[in-house]
Amino acid sequence: MQITNSGYSEHGASRRKTSLIKWHSSSKSPHEDISENSALLRERSRDLYMGGGPLGRGAIDRIALNAIGRGLKLNVRIDPALLNMSEQQASAWSARTEALFDYWASSRNAHSGRELSFYDLQCLALKSILIDGEVLAIIEYTPNISIRLIEAERIMTPPDRNSKLIDEGVELNEWGDPAAFHIANRNPNAELLGQKHLDWVRIPVTNSTLHLFIRERIGQHRGVPFLAPVIVQLKQLSRYTEAELMAAVVAGMYSVFFEHPPREDGMLGSDEYASEQGYGETSGLEGLSTEMMYGSVIDLPDGVKASSLSPGRPNQNFNGFIEALAHQIGGTLGIPEELLFLHFTASYSASRGALLEAWKVFKYWRAWFAENFCQPVYEAWLEEQVNAGRIEAPLYWRDDFTRSQYAWAEWVGPSQGQLNPVQEVEAAVMKIQNNLSTYQRECSELTGEDWDLVMSALTRERMKLPQADENT
């Protein structure tokens, strides 16, 4: 007896079903599937962001603005018991550490080129990850700690090192793990005059080299742009929008055509008109304007009849079609249509549901970015401060666990915002009263502020209120 079914062979893996027989698929290693295509994906992603339609740029900006905004702020959260501190000592240590870090992070000393603050570097790094798919951050000590960002194009294999152990600029060890990066001394696509000769430097992988990208597969060594899954849809949507816009512009033009009687000598057009227009004598259509201009008046020779064009624009189905595509694109990227267009027209419940779903994506990006960029930079900065004696940490070098406790912190970003502030605040109060949340968490989610700083400010203000009442 012949068996026709076996597992997925007559379902998703069938090669005989009519609906699947022309589905030609192939899956190779991450190098062939991702690394070899990363350069072209970056080019197209940048084009979509710089001018390839509003949805591509809007999706990236929504992630960047909501995930980190102007930059994530350090909020030290050490455990006094584990570090043999009292509550007062831990509070004082946290306040001093936060103040020193913010002083460094707000200055241009945080950047190796002395151009950007650490908060600026955060914005630039996250946008590079979203647009290009990756960025390389190098922590330097020259002489104090600073950050250098390397664009994706500069990570490339030197021409004299074409080896299977180098995956598009990422050198691998015998286990296939990254061992070093090969960095070009400039962008290889630069066409400016005076660019120095292209050369490479090999940088070993250490705790000071942060290669930031979202991994889709095991063994992946180069990043994928955020817009990669919807590049085709975004480009086609941009073309369709431009075509509809041009059709609407053409439909808004109105032209008037004149016919002149034939001349006695048989030449086309009138001598007087030809002389005025500078055409000279002509026996044909040469020299006559045939370009359609805004509100133009076009003079035609005898015998040529004019007809009007009715393109039927603007298209009444345009909005519906755009919204249908936006649903698919937003669903793929995890950003609801309302946020892509920044247009909330549904009910409060529907708008709030869309906002909550979007904030799952924003919080994911915030947590990932803080863990992979902000926290390693803070740990390197803290170690430098302890070594320099600016921050006292008696037990810092005891073991790795103790050092991790000194570096335990949260990173605070923009708040979610409220569609109905009264209901949001009432819900936060109920959570606190029923021991379901903390003041710190609710304050951070509602306002994006540090609760300790808010309480300190409120204490000072309340002390001044009696004086203000007496003066009034």
d(CA 313, CA 249): 9
Across the chain, what does the average pLDDT equal? 83
Q: Which residue has the higher pLDDT, 153 or 470?
A: 153
d(CA 289, CA 311): 22
- Give which of 130, 179, 190 is closest to 154, Cα–Cα: 190
d(CA 383, CA 393): 10
Amino acid (one-letter) located at 129: I
Asked if 374 contacts 413 with a C-beta cutoff of 8 angstroms, the reply is no
Chain center to CA of 266: 67
Give the pLDDT score at 3: 58
CA 281-287-293 angle, to 5 degrees, is 140
Would residue 437 be called left, alpha or beta, if left means φ above 0 and alpha means ψ between -120 and 50 degrees? beta
Asked if 339 contacts 346 with a C-beta cutoff of 8 angstroms, the reply is no
Amino acid (one-letter) located at 381: W
* 139, pLDDT greater than 80: yes
- Give which of 104, 99, 135 is closest to 373, Cα–Cα: 135
**Which region among 38-47, 172-181, 355-364, 462-471 has the lowest average model confidence (pLDDT)?**
462-471
> Residue ranges of the domains in the chain?
27-229+335-414, 420-472
d(CA 277, CA 468): 81
Asked if 379 contacts 76 with a C-beta cutoff of 8 angstroms, the reply is no
Chain center to CA of 319: 25
CA 121-124-128 angle, to 5 degrees, is 135
* 260, pLDDT greater than 90: no
- Summarize the confidence of residues 357-369 as an average pLDDT: 92
**Which region among 29-33, 131-135, 219-223, 270-274 has the lowest average model confidence (pLDDT)?**
270-274
Give the pLDDT score at 283: 44
- Summarize the confidence of residues 197-224 as an average pLDDT: 92
* 350, pLDDT greater than 60: yes
- Give which of 319, 302, 297, 299 is closest to 266, Cα–Cα: 302
CB proximity list for 301: less than 8 A, separation 6 or greater: 259, 260, 268, 269, 285, 288
Asked if 281 contacts 274 with a C-beta cutoff of 8 angstroms, the reply is yes
Task: Please report the DSSP string for 422-469 in residue order.
Answer: HHHHHHHHHHHHTTSS-HHHHHHHHHS--HHHHHHHHHHHHHHHHHHH
Instruction: Please give the span between the terminal C-alpha atoms of the chain, in angstroms, as a whole number.
Output: 100
Report helix, strand and coil shares of the chain as percent, to nearest 5.
Answer: 50, 10, 40
- What contacts 24+ positions apart, CB below 8 Å, involve 280-286? none
* 455, pLDDT greater than 90: no
Q: Which residue has the higher pLDDT, 302 or 215?
A: 215
- Summarize the confidence of residues 47-74 as an average pLDDT: 89
Give the pLDDT score at 387: 93
* 408, pLDDT greater than 90: yes
d(CA 72, CA 120): 10
pLDDT digits (tens, 9 = 90+) for 428-454: 889 888 888 888 777 877 777 777 778
pLDDT digits (tens, 9 = 90+) for 285-335: 444 545 555 556 666 666 666 666 555 666 778 888 888 888 888 888 888
Amino acid (one-letter) located at 278: G
Half-sphere exposure at residue 88, Cβ-oriented, CA atoms within 13 angstroms? 0
CA 436-437-440 angle, to 5 degrees, is 170
Name the pTM for this structure. Answer: 0.80
Give the pLDDT score at 345: 74
pLDDT-based confidence at residue 206 (cuts at 50, 70, 90): very high
Task: Please report the DSSP string for 134-156 in residue order.
Answer: -EEEEEEESSSEEEEEE-GGGB-
Give the pLDDT score at 16: 79
Measured in degrees and rounded to the nearest 5, phi and psi for residue 231 equal -60, -45
